[in-house]
């Protein structure tokens, strides 16, 4: 059984949504042949992170709020 303290629930949900989107981005781009498994599974390069940020704004804009996107992207080291 998993217990998430109520004061952390929102953060856990937001992070899990971002992880799910990162996985979806990775699978899509692997199928398309844009990136290799090594590029997706390792620490992502600045180019891939920028591509992911762009993908979020164009392809997935309805799945996360602009605030969630900015919270995620804030502090990213590219």
Domain ranges of the chain: 16-73
CA distances to 41, 55, 58, 64, 68 from 51, rounded to whole Å, are: 15, 6, 10, 17, 17
pLDDT recorded at residue 78: 43
Written as one string, the DSSP assignment of 44-68 is PPHHHHHHHHHHHHHTSTTTS-HHH
pLDDT recorded at residue 75: 61
pTM of the prediction? 0.74
CA distance 32 to 12: 30
pLDDT recorded at residue 56: 83
CA distance 77 to 56: 17
pLDDT recorded at residue 27: 95
Per-residue pLDDT of the chain (78 residues; tens, 9 = 90+): 889 999 999 888 888 888 888 899 999 999 999 999 999 999 889 899 889 888 888 866 566 777 776 777 676 554
């Amino acid at each position: 059984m998993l217990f998430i303290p109520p004061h952390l629930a929102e953060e856990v949900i937001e992070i899990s949504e971002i992880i799910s989107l990162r996985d979806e981005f990775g699978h899509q781009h692997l199928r398309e042949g844009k990136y290799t498994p090594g590029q997706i599974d390792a620490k992502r390069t600045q180019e891939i992170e920028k591509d992911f940020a762009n993908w979020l704004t164009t392809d997935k804009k309805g799945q996360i709020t602009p605030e969630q996107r900015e919270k995620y992207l804030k502090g990213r080291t590219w």
